């Protein structure tokens, strides 16, 4: 997710999303790795760490989580790439200012229509992100909305990086709702 997030950044996520608050294109979400996008990790957790996990101050070490940006919502058609080399959502090219400098929107061509209750997610550092494009053989690369744990809201650590995680909603302002 560089440069939006840096390695070792700590974030606060709004756990009320999805739920009372809706998800939107551009939101940076935290989701459980239920489809094994990450390799398994074997770790022992101390009693203190287990207590911190129980009260929500540390993630559960038995679960792995990913952080990616929502590009496609249910019903959206997401394609790469246009003649200009940009990603299109519902036929509209999007200009993505959050992409890591020097990266292309995608080096992998794709065209997907996001099913109901699913999301299409991409990392901001496209050249180093094993996102939906790389997992099309597993559930089509789609993320189940029920695995979303929350929306990244604030970078809380290190102190010199404190700030809001920008959803860049303006990128999607001209994207129409999906065709019914």
3-state SS record for the chain: CCCCCCCCCEEEEECCCCCCCCCCCCCEEEEECCCCCCCCCCCCCCHHHHHHHHCCCCCCCCCCEEEEEEEECCCCEEEECCCCCCCEECCEECCCCCCCCCCCCCCCCEEEECCCCEEEEECCCHHHCCCHHHHCCCHHHCEEHHHEEEEEEEEEECHHHCEECCCCHHHHCCCCCCCC
Task: Give, as one character, the DSSP assignment of residue 145.
Answer: G
For residues 27 and 69, the answer to whether their CB atoms sit within 8 Å is yes
Q: pLDDT for 111-148, tens place per residue?
A: 999 999 999 999 999 999 989 999 998 889 999 999 99
pLDDT above 70: percentage of residues in the chain: 85
Q: How far is CA 155 from its chain centroid?
A: 15
What residue has token string 């249910």?
Answer: 74
Task: Tokens for 53, please give them.
Answer: 């996990």
Quick one: pLDDT at residue 48? 76
Quick one: pLDDT at residue 58? 63
Q: Which of 144, 71, 147 is nearest to 111 (CA)?
A: 71
pTM, entire model:
0.83
Separation CA 47–CA 3 (nearest Å): 34
Quick one: pLDDT at residue 164? 83
Q: pLDDT for 26-63, tens place per residue?
A: 999 998 877 777 667 666 767 777 777 666 666 556 56
Q: Taking residues 169-173, report their average pLDDT.
A: 95
Quick one: pLDDT at residue 39? 67
Task: Tokens for 90, please give them.
Answer: 């519902």
Quick one: pLDDT at residue 97? 97
Q: pLDDT for 77-121, tens place per residue?
A: 999 999 999 999 999 999 999 999 999 999 999 999 999 999 999
Q: What domains can be seen in the chain, in order of their start residue? A: 10-172 (2.10.109.10)
Quick one: pLDDT at residue 20? 47
């Amino acid at each position: 997710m560089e440069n939006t997030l840096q390695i070792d950044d700590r974030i606060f996520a709004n756990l009320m999303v999805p739920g009372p608050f809706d998800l939107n294109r551009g939101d940076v979400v935290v989701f459980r790795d239920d489809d094994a996008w990450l390799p398994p990790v074997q770790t022992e957790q101390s009693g203190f760490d287990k207590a911190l996990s129980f009260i929500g101050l540390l993630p559960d070490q038995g679960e792995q989580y990913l952080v990616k940006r929502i590009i496609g919502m249910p019903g959206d058609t997401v394609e790469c790439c246009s003649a200009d080399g940009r990603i299109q959502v519902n036929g509209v090219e999007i200009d993505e200012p959050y992409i890591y400098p020097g990266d292309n929107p995608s080096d992998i061509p794709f065209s997907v229509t996001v099913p109901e209750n699913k999301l299409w997610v991409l990392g901001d550092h496209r050249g180093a992100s094993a996102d939906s494009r790389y997992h099309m053989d597993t559930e089509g690369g789609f993320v189940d909305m029920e695995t979303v744990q929350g929306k990244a809201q604030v970078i809380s650590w290190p102190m010199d990086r404190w700030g809001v995680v920008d959803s860049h909603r303006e990128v999607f302002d001209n994207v129409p709702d999906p065709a019914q």
